[in-house]
Amino acid sequence: MSDIQLNAEIPGLHRYATGKVRDIFDLGNMLLIVASDRISAFDVVMPNGIPDKGRVLTQLSRFWFLHLRPFLPNHYITSDMHFIMARLEEAGVHITPDLYRRLEGRAMLTLKAKVFPVECVVRGYLAGSFWKEYQEAGGERHEVTLHGVPLPAGLRESDRLPHPIFTPATKAHSGHDENISLSQMRHIVGEEMAERLKEVSLELYEAAAERALENGIIIADTKFEFGYHQGSLTLVDEALTPDSSRFWDAAIYTPGQPQPSFDKQYLRDWLLASGWNRQPPAPQLPAEVVRGTAARYREALRRLTGIELSGA
């Protein structure tokens, strides 16, 4: 079942939004969120799809939404295909075996929420842009304060932080997400909500990181989105997938260097080496890079949930 799906069309349903990766359809008080096999890097969608990627994202999000439900309400209703097809039929959609096949494993019925325009990033380890910030601030020589949090001197790349820290970003509609300070975040969502989002983000990260470690995966960092649904703060979008998180293999974790990860770092490395200038259009990806990326996504799903997608 490794047919690549780049774009979900459901004749008869109103499209609610199209993201870089997801096609979202409106079902009144609910949404049908369909994860495609599109992959973006440096905020540009690649011409190729990654086989099974959409299914990996949906199955992993489902796993985390169920696991994290005791901590905070989330938008997940079901990915049960019989239930979903029945709702689509009620909405006037003509049901065909082909539609079933195209949605199976990648569609998720959710609550419709009013989404806060901030990305709630939590970091447990010193990686990526945060490692760069730490170095630029002189962290290798003296204590530094980053995003309002004091950090000791002499941490190495990929080191575990003394405490997970919250580094919010704007949810840019086009272009790159930008880090914002907590006070900028207070302006956007209000003082009380900023504090609340920070607290729940840290709490969800810690619960997930602990669970993932049982399966030998380190969640180095992740990004959450939240919204309001009927007056309740609700976790929305995707949860703890390789698109929103850095996953590392705990068995080979070696601080002092970058870690191999289950996310699209492999693709990013190839793109950088290819000399592409990061402006659209992105280059066609070689079969080898597509295969390697697919394998990493499937492996993340298998390790965390035990679900095996057959692969091609």
Ligand X SMILES: Nc1ncnc2c1ncn2[C@@H]1O[C@H](COP(=O)(O)OP(=O)(O)O)[C@@H](O)[C@H]1O
Using the rule CB under 6 A, is 115 a contact of ligand X?
Answer: yes
DSSP type of residue 264: T
Using CB positions, name the residue nearest to ligand X: 19
Cα–Cα distance between 247 and 249 in angstroms, integer? 7
Q: Which residue, among 236, 264, 226, has the nearest Cα to 44 in the 3D structure?
A: 264
Minimum distance from residue 241 beta carbon to ligand X (Å): 10
| Integer Cα distance of 156 and 140 in angstroms | 8
β-strand 118-125 against 169-170: which pairing, if any?
antiparallel
Which of 2, 81, 100, 112 lies at the binding interface for ligand X (CB under 6 A)? 112
CA–CA dist 23, 19 (Å, integer): 6
Q: Is residue 258 within the footprint of ligand X (CB under 6 A)?
A: no
Q: Assess 27 for contact with ligand X (CB under 6 A).
A: no
Asked if 188 touches ligand X (CB under 6 A), the answer is no
Q: Which is nearer to ligand X, 36 or 158 (CB)?
A: 36
128 binds ligand X (CB under 6 A): no
Q: What beta strand segments (E) does the chain contain?
A: 14-18, 22-27, 30-35, 38-41, 44-49, 76-78, 107-111, 114-115, 118-125, 144-146, 149-151, 160-166, 169-170, 217-229, 232-236, 245-249
In terms of CB distance, is 80 or 210 closer to ligand X? 80
Q: Does 31 bind ligand X (CB under 6 A)?
A: yes
* Under rule CB under 6 A, residue 227 binds ligand X: yes
> Which listed range, 3-11, 96-104, 110-118, 256-264, lies at the site for ligand X (CB under 6 A)?
110-118
> Which position among 21, 60, 107, 217 is part of the footprint of ligand X (CB under 6 A)?
21
DSSP one-letter string for 37-82: SEEEETTEEEEEE-TTHHHHHHHHHHHHHHHHTTTS-BSEEE--HH
Determine, following the binding rule CB under 6 A, whether residue 263 of this chain makes contact with ligand X. Answer: no
Rule CB under 6 A: say whether 221 interacts with ligand X.
Answer: no
Residues numbered 270-299 forming contacts with ligand X, rule: CB under 6 A: none
- CA-CA-CA-CA torsion for 202, 205, 207, 210, nearest 10 degrees? -130
* Under rule CB under 6 A, residue 56 binds ligand X: no
Interaction between residue 75 and ligand X (CB under 6 A): yes
110 in contact with ligand X (CB under 6 A)? yes
Q: Does 87 bind ligand X (CB under 6 A)?
A: no
Tell me if 135 sits within 8 A of 127, measured CB to CB.
Answer: no
Angle separating helix axes 265-274 and 287-305, nearest 10 degrees: 160
- Decide whether 116 or 166 has the Cβ nearer to ligand X: 116
Q: Is residue 147 packed enough to be buried (19+ CB in 10 Å), middle (13-18) or exposed (0-12)?
A: middle
Interaction of residue 198 with ligand X, rule CB under 6 A: no
Stretch that binds ligand X, among 13-21, 95-103, 134-142, 278-286 (CB under 6 A): 13-21
Distances (CA, A) of 9 to 23, 99, 121, 305, 308: 8, 9, 31, 29, 27
Stretch that binds ligand X, among 89-97, 104-112, 185-193, 209-217 (CB under 6 A): 104-112
Q: CB of residue 275 vs ligand X: minimum separation in angstroms?
A: 26
- In the bound state with ligand X, the residue whose beta carbon lies nearer, of 175 and 275, is 175
Residue type, 54: G
Residues binding ligand X (CB under 6 A): 17, 19-22, 24, 31, 75, 110-113, 115, 225, 227, 236-237
